[in-house]
Amino acid sequence: MGLCIIAGGSGAGKTEYIYRKIIELSAKEPEGRFFVVTPEQATMQAQKEIVRLHPNHGTLNIDIVSFERLAYRIFSELSLPQPEVLDDTGKNMVLRRLAGEKMDELTMFSSHLNRPGFISEIKSMLSELYQYGATPEDLKAQTAGEHVGQILAAKLSDMEVIFEAFREFTKEKYITLEELLDVLCQVADQSALLKDSTMVLDGYTGFTPVQYRLIGILLKLCRNVFVTVSATMEPGMDLTAESDETDLFDMSRKMTGKLKQLAEENGAKIYQDLVFSKRPLVRFRNSPALDHLERTFFRYPYTRYYGGEREIMLVQAKDPADEIDFITNRIEELVKKYGYRYRDIALVCGDLPGYGREITRSFEENRIPLFLDENRDVSGNPLIRLIQSALDILQKGFDYESMFRYLRTGLVTEETEAVDRLEIYVRAMGIRGFAKWDTAWEKTFEGGENLNLVETNAFREKIMEPLRVLRERCAGRGVPVAVVTDALKELLETLGAEEKLEQFSERFADSGMDREAREYEEIYGLVIELFEKFKSLLGDECVSRREYAEILSAGFSELSVGMIPAGADRVVCGDLKRTRLDKIKVLFFLGVSQGVVPADHSKGGLFTDNEREILKKNSMELAPTAREEGFMERFYLYLMMTKPSDQLILSYPTVTAEGKQTRPSGIIGEMKKRFPDLFIRETEAEKRPDVSVTAAGRAILSWLQEPDRLMDPENEKARELYSFLSSDEAKAKEMEDLAKAVAYSYKKSGIGRAAARELYGTLLRGSVTRMEGYAGCAYSHFLNHGLGLRAGREYELDLSDMGNLFHQSLDTFFRNVRDHGKDFRTITDAERRALVKRAVEEVSAKYRNTIMKSSARNAYLEKKVERITDRTVRALIYQIRKGDFEPEAFEVDVSTRIPLKDGEAVNLRGRIDRMDVFEDEDKIYVKIMDYKSGSTSFDLALLYHGLQLQLVVYMDAALKLQESRHPGKQAVPAGIFYYHIDDPVIDREDGMTDEEIEAGILRKLRMNGLVNSSLDVIRHMDREIEKESDVIPVALKDGYVQELKSSVAGGKRFAHLTDYVNQKLREMGEEILDGNVAVDPYKQGNRTACDYCPYHSVCGFDLKTDGYGFRRFKPMKTEAIWKEIDQEEDGEEMDSGAMEDAADKVDPVQLDPGKTKKKTLEGIESGKKKSPGKENDGKEIL
């Protein structure tokens, strides 16, 4: 029995020496037993190396195992029943169940049990306690320890409750992986395999307490135990000498000391250490700079090494993508120019999760074979999402989110368009709950008239059938775990999930996506295995649906797919701790940034670093603290950075992938101190060899974006490369397309008159709003009315719904007033309130499939609609009572037809919210109102540009309607108005009465629009006007209209306005039928056609792209606009100077109680001149 320590620096040849020694001994003793024990992830590499070194290229009587595999080997030898090991997945599920049962006994943990990852933290802590031999009793004793505060005591108490429950659950049934070696310790002395065997422990940087106990036993049983220890051995260095945590090899010293102590305690002979210290070390025989790095890194004082630029490179990149791009180019150069194999090269990342995806993408693009050494998280796999969403459907009652998360996994159906149509219907109709999903759908919705309900119902029935079965199997409050699990398995079988996943895997494999292919190949088996584990652990337990989902999710959180290299000749990419590299010639160390390398070791988890320090002082041994791990990581960095034999490249970005500034790690500075000749290479300044097609393409694209750079005489390489690729038949089209894309400039082009006729016919039907939309942007109009693109309707109230509710409630109120024989001038407040309440209730009961009753929020909004409607009615009645006009009709359907060329026409339909009239002997005066829930104001400039035509078109139709109803009378426009439906508030000043407050509110609710300037008309709309009306936008002073404070126009200007609008509509109609679909949104001030446009993601409008620009409207004064409109009809010309002069003048209109003195207007001659066209040159236009 003996212990031999084999010590030497990283790369000294310790492993190869002991492997050759074991091969030699095994050959001499063919009947002897030899064990090589390595960490689990290194066993495969050890097997390969021993087979390579063995003269017979086999292992024969040499067993290469991990400690866990050694345990199973001995159990098998002794014919002991294999203990059922509870792995991390099983632990999570059991712990979630036990924590739920013990909820009442927990103080700190109870509110965190459903937090994602919390059960995994409990599991990790439990594993740590097992590893370090702690018991529930130890935790209980610590609660009374020194410096243990209330919070730490509560955590210890909760952990003790869970630990004790777990120990009781697993007693005599299961053991944990951490307990496996405890069992081995109990039976090891019975093993004939271990007795007089030779044992090698290689690749360890330290051991856990239970591993040390086992080694103590092995030292008594085995003939010899060899242990490799990594430490740079200088002359006279004693590995057992005292050291502190700042010593780079503190871990190695402590491990050596502990092993020799165990040898002494167990009566084993301690051989003289075998020390490998000859310089240069074996690995660095041709790389003196790397040999110097191994000798001095993280040690003080140190000597400097001058030179070494070939062996060590420091690289600064713009960002991680640029960093990886540089590395892929460098790898291609190493392989194609210097003859390296891909397997000679490795990548190590300080932040593998952050870099992994981009590395995979870049290597696939450049066709570099890669093995990413990480367990692939499967939480986002469609199978996991399918199961979780199916459980959510049961738990949440067939809610919208769960149903469509389930349907869009790709495992339920491949009919994606059918799912889209189904979703449109469900969102529009507010389908919620099993009853609605399980009943045939018969109603339709606005905009869904073309939806085929027969097909939709057939598809609904198809997807509901397996869910009905699942619901029936899982009915009841508490259902056994086994029953629910079997029901889920039945669901997966019914859906054919396994076959669909296999198909996905094959597609990924065909596309060269090996990682995804393996994940989809393995996931179904992993899930079924998890189901069986769930049943065996908790099968007879009755749980609620919520509890079942939580326990299963705890199990899913531990699932991962281990990746296997698809071939030997691959670049390996991994992290500092997990990845085992061997025979590496070139190492790229990426992401060497501050806070990443070395990593921030502030422990999260259940216990803080301060709490761990307290427990350590109270003699409770646990895993290293953050401070200790910080020192340990230096050792791991040393081991990793000394892996390559030829070249080490350290790189870091200046900004993160999120765009945040970052600094290089302190390691970069340490390297420069030891190697003064090293300099920071910037990727942008590097002359990169374009050895990959992708890199060449990126370079060309970069140059094409800067034509001046492309044509730079010094950039001969770029032009040669572009010319070469363009002359290649396979690449010519691609290069042509690339050049076109970079030089793209938007040019207006229509769809042609023939295509327009196919879309619209020869009769343009629609509303004035449609034409206003066209005036805003022709392309938006084309998408909406030409292609019929619509945003999906949601079963929830939005601003347009509120507007509809107000409109319908007002219409219903006014109709009810008439139907009940009430008069607007005499109706009482009580009668008004009752009729408003009734109107709102009637509208709400019918509106959008009873949406108002679907939620408490909507019920509140119904009350809000009632309140604002009542305020609106009060204001409207007040306005009626102030004048002589009487409401004649509500929601009046009107239409107008505007002839176009070639027998085509525009046929517009609309609805006037309210039409009031006043009659005298020979005239009938017409006032129309449009209710707006938004703050729309009459704007003559918007009207001029075609964006606010509605009121003028409605007035024209109303006048014709009245003249048809009253032959012999002239219909006169009295005013066109918007009324803003609102419930305004005003600032209350001291001493204000309620009447003054009400008057202030009514002023805010004054109609806005355009009023006939005739004093007779004005007096009939507001009999009490003296200075400024609180009903219409008119102000008087000394019998004159104050034009700056009024919005008025004479009868002839009303006529001019009508003719102008009709001509505008005619022009727009012609343009639409000519096929105009230009992307030409308007901009006026801060307002643009794009502000609320739903087609942003479709149109491609981008001010950075040549050819795109807003139509900017030149600011014009009101009088200047009137002059333009008048000119349109009169055919007269006015120079711009005269226009400005006219716009600056204010000529008040004298008002006399008996008649109106108006400005002289020229005769009307309509239709002679087109309104200004739409120039899209980015300049201001009229």
Do you find a cis peptide bond into 301, omega within 30 degrees of 0?
A: yes
C-alpha closest to that of 120 among 99, 100, 91: 91
**What distance in Å separates the CA atoms of residue 417 and residue 808, rounded to the nearest whole number?**
35
- Choosing among 1.10.486, 1.10.287, 1.10.3470, 3.30.1330, the CATH entry for 382-562 is 1.10.486
Q: What is the mean pLDDT of the chain?
A: 86
User: Could you say which of 3.40.630.30, 3.40.190.80, 3.40.50.300, 2.60.40.650 is the CATH number of the domain covering 288-374+566-682?
Assistant: 3.40.50.300
Closest residue by Cα to residue 277 from 656, 11, 540: 11
Q: What is the spatial distance between Cα 156 and Cα 162, in angstroms, rounded to a whole number?
A: 10
Mean pLDDT score, 531-549: 89
Task: Quote the DSSP letter at residue 655.
Answer: B
The yes-or-no verdict on residue 1038 having pLDDT over 80 is no
* Rounded-to-integer distance, Cα 113 and Cα 145, Å: 27
Domain at 2-83+179-278: CATH architecture: 3-Layer(aba) Sandwich (3.40)
Continuous segment of H or E residues that includes residue 1: none
Please determine, for residue 692, whether its predicted confidence score (pLDDT) is greater than 70: no
Residue 988, CA atoms < 13 Å, CB-side half-sphere: 9
- At residue 1163, the pLDDT reads 28
Q: Quick one: which H or E segment has residue 72?
A: helix 67-77
In the predicted model, is pLDDT for residue 442 greater than 70? yes
Structure confidence at residue 113 (pLDDT)? 83
What are the pLDDT digits (tens) for 891-950?
Answer: 999 999 999 998 899 999 999 999 999 999 899 999 999 998 888 889 999 999 999 999
Q: How crowded is residue 376: how many other Cβ atoms within 10 Å of its Cβ?
A: 18
Peptide bond into 30 cis (omega under 30): no
What would the two tokens of residue 161 be? 């409750």
Helix-, strand-, coil-residue percentages of the chain, each rounded to 5: 50, 15, 35
Neighbour tally for 789: CB within 10 Å: 13
Work out the average pLDDT over 252-263: 95
pLDDT at 818 over 90: no
Highest mean pLDDT among 445-454, 507-516, 656-665, 685-694: 656-665
Three-state DSSP at 1177 gives coil
Instruction: Give CA 550 to chain center in angstroms.
Output: 24
Residues across the chain: 1182
Question: Which sign, positive or negative, has the C-alpha torsion 490, 495, 501, 502?
Answer: positive
Please report, rounded to a whole number, the percentage of residues in the chain having pLDDT higher than 90: 53
Kindly give the pairing relationship between strand 274-276 and strand 2-8. parallel
Query: Whole-angstrom Cα distance, residue 1115 to residue 1118?
Result: 10
Residues facing 905 on adjacent strands:
763, 899
pLDDT for the residue 1134: 38
SS (H, E, C) 373-437: CCEEECCCCHHHHHHHHHHHHHHHCCCHHHHHHHHCCCCCCCCHHHHHHHHHHHHHHCCCCHHHH
Whole-angstrom distance, CA of residue 716 vs CA of residue 278: 51
User: What angle, rounded to 10 degrees, do the helices at 320-336 and 352-365 form?
Assistant: 50
User: Each residue of 26-79: pLDDT tens digit?
Assistant: 999 999 999 999 999 889 899 999 999 999 988 889 999 999 999 999 999 999
What is the mean predicted confidence (pLDDT) over 626-639?
87
The encoded tokens of residue 1054 equal 């009303």
Name the DSSP letter for residue 179.
G
Domain extents in the chain: 2-83+179-278, 86-173, 288-374+566-682, 382-562, 693-738
pLDDT tens, residue by residue, 1106-1134: 889 999 988 888 889 999 888 766 654 43
pLDDT of 603 above 70: no
Q: What is the enclosing helix (H) or strand (E) of 629? A: helix 626-641
Tokens of 1156: 């109106």
What pLDDT sits at residue 1133?
40
- pLDDT tens digit string along 501-521? 999 999 998 887 888 898 999
Band of residue 853 on the pLDDT scale cut at 50, 70, 90 = low
**Taking residues 1009-1019, what's their average pLDDT?**
91
Mean pLDDT in residue range 743-763: 89
Coil, strand or helix at 782: helix
Query: 812 to each of 729, 805, 877, 1005, how far by Cα in Å?
Result: 72, 10, 15, 21
Among 93-107, 621-635, 638-652, 784-798, the minimum mean pLDDT is found in 784-798
Q: Which of 2, 566, 387, 7 is nearest to 231 (CA)?
A: 7
Rounded CA gap, 59 and 39, in Å?
18
> Sign of the CA dihedral 171, 174, 178, 183?
positive
**Residue position matching structure tokens 């005269």:** 1138
**Contact of 563 with 373, CB cutoff 8 Å:** yes
Cα angle: 760, vertex 763, 764; to 5 degrees: 60
**What is the structure's pLDDT at 172?**
76
Per-residue pLDDT, 1150: 31
Name the residue among 450, 446, 425 with its Cα closest to residue 437: 425
Instruction: Measure the CA–CA gap between 555 and 533, rounded to whole angstroms.
Output: 10
pLDDT at 693: 56
**Mean pLDDT in residue range 756-771:** 93
pLDDT of residue 694: 58
- How far is the C-alpha of 881 from the C-alpha of 885, rounded, in Å? 9
pLDDT in tens, 208-245: 999 999 999 999 999 999 999 999 887 767 787 777 78
pTM: 0.69
- Express each pLDDT in 264-277 by its tens digit: 999 999 999 999 98
Please tell me if the domain spanning 2-83+179-278 has the same topology as the one spanning 288-374+566-682: yes
The angle formed by the CA atoms of residues 321, 325 and 329, to the nearest 5 degrees, is: 170
